[in-house]
Amino acid sequence: MKTLVQDAQAPLRSLYRATPALAMVTDHARTCGADPADPFHSRVEPMDGCGVVVPVGVHRAVGGLHDAPTPGDMLCAALAACQDSAVRMVANRLGVEIISLEVRVSAQVDVRGALGLDAEVQVGFQSMTCDIDLEVDESTPPKLREILESAAQRCCVVQQTLHHPPPVTTRFVVAGTVRA
């Protein structure tokens, strides 16, 4: 019996096997801060144009109010959401019944790097932990549970991106300036 994920992915798998270039997708997000003079608040719109807007704040450890999710919180949320989706989709493909699933992500950062206080301290998170509390039907064979865990980690795009970061290009277009 085919599962929901198998039904949804079957035509895509065939298409991508036949035309690999079609498997390349691009995700988007943009900031849309209401007040450019406010250094502690902005908004981000995932999916650029979908209408969902998430407030963004600055962590109190670097002088912000931490009254809205910070970019670090959102990075943790992205990993948690992606890992949750990966577990659910792989379990569905394997026919494993999930009883409960909770993914918690935490990340540790030494903010002295971001504040420019110590050149030896890297700017960025020094570690991240992804805890997955998963309960599956008790009749699930142990080997199938192992396959689920391994495949869900391998299929989590955000986790794999963090393990193998791509090059990131930043371009500034500053109105009113001319660059040589």
Query: For residues 39 and 51, which has the higher predicted lDDT (pLDDT)?
Result: 39
CA geometry: angle 8, 84, 55, nearest 5 deg: 105
Give the pLDDT band of residue 96 (cuts 50, 70, 90).
very high
Give the pLDDT band of residue 178 (cuts 50, 70, 90).
low
Q: In the predicted model, is pLDDT for residue 48 greater than 80? A: no
Q: If you average pLDDT over every residue of the chain, what do you get? A: 94
Percentages of the chain per state (helix, strand, coil), in multiples of 5: 35, 20, 40
- Which structural domains are found in the chain, ordered by start? 1-69 (no CATH), 70-165 (3.30.300.20)
pLDDT at 180: 54
